[in-house]
Amino acid sequence: MGPPGVGKGTQAKGIAEHYGVPAISTGDIFRANVRNQTPLGLEVARIMAEGSYVPDEITDAIVRDRLAEPDAAAGWLLDGYPRTLAQVEALDGVLAGAGHGIDAVISLVAEEAHLIDRLLKRAELEGRADDNAETIKHRMEVYNEATDPLIAIYRERGLLVEVDGLGTVDEVGQRITEALDATPAR
């Protein structure tokens, strides 16, 4: 978890590879659908371009189906999900049904002003449809309102692993694996 631009996607791929589990990114799944102009893609394109959240029912169904794929049987890393309280509850339900649990919730921390700069630079480099000044501001607001409060839930559950998100990709990645390796096995 972490605010837009903190490096969730990049770190998720590295950490998942390190532990030999798939990185499941709802943002990547939605973007692939938009690119391929699937019915789902056509439904979510506008929502994503304006930086709002895709409705919970759609997102929850995608994650539920993805977690049922064979490659997720021995573990997974979710990137960008859950993002709302309803998604936390939906995930709890899916995991309870499967007899699985969450080992850890990684929270990447960085200052908002720094992240806005980072996102504006990414906009120039990658040209993501949702990386422009107006949308970035909206995404930060949505994050602060809907997602940031979820961190407290996972902290209360004793699952939160907070990591400083500032630094090179390798530095932050190392911090995460060190913190996870120091976390008691569940």
Nearer to ligand AMP, 29 or 176 (CB): 29
Nearer to ligand AMP, 7 or 130 (CB): 130
Report in angstroms how near the CB of residue 47 gets to ligand AMP at its nearest: 6
Nearer to ligand AMP, 129 or 160 (CB): 129
CA distances from 184 to 103, 104, 108 (A): 9, 10, 19
Sites of contact with ligand AMP (CB under 6 A): 4, 9, 26-27, 30, 47-48, 51-54, 59, 80-81, 83, 87, 130, 139
Q: What is the torsional sign of CA 22, 86, 109, 9?
A: positive
CA distances from 158 to 78, 80, 106, 153 (A): 18, 20, 12, 9
Report in angstroms how near the CB of residue 101 gets to ligand AMP at its nearest: 19
For 25, list phi and psi in degrees, rounded to 5.
-110, 115
Which amino acid does the sequence have at 173? G
137 is catalytic: no
139 is catalytic: yes
Which residues have a catalytic role annotated? 8, 83, 122, 128, 139
